[in-house]
A and B are shown apart, each in its own frame.
Chain A
Amino acid sequence: METKVIFYILAAAIFGASVLAVSCRQAVHAALYFIVSLLGLAGLFFLLGAPLLAALEVILYAGAIMMLLLFVIMMLHTDRRDRELYRPPFWTVPVLLSLLCGAALVMLLARWPQAAELLPSAFFSPGQFGQVLFSRYWLAVELVSLLLFVALVGALYFGGREIKAARLQPGEGGDS
Chain B
Amino acid sequence: MLTLSTQLNTYLVIGAVLFGFGIFGLVRRPSLIGMLIAVELVLSGASINFMAFNRFLAPDPTVGQIITLFIMAIAAAEAAISLSIVIAVYRNYKSIEVEDLVELKG
Contacts and interface: CB of A to CB of B under 8 A. Distances in A.
Interface of A: 3-4, 7-8, 11, 14-15, 18-19, 21-23, 27, 30-31, 34, 37-38, 41, 44-45, 47-50, 52-53, 56-57, 60-61, 64-65, 68-69, 72-73, 75-76, 78, 80-81, 83, 85-86, 91, 94, 98, 102, 105-106, 109-110, 112, 114-119, 121-122, 124, 129, 132-133, 136-137, 140, 144, 147-148, 150-152, 154-155, 158-159, 161-162, 173, 176
B56 to A, nearest CB: 5
Which of B69, B72, B78 is packed against the most chain A CB atoms within 10 Å?
B69
B96 to A, nearest CB: 6
Interface in B49-89: 51-52, 54-58, 61-62, 65-66, 68-70, 72-81, 83-88
Contact of B5 (A3, A34, A41): A3
B96 A109 contact: no
Nearest to A1: B2
Interface residues of B, number: 70
A8 B5 contact: yes
Nearest to B92: A162
Contacts of A155: 80-81, 83-84
13 contacts: A38-B44, A65-B79, A72-B83, A78-B96, A80-B95, A110-B9, A119-B57, A122-B55, A124-B61, A129-B66, A132-B66, A154-B81, A154-B84
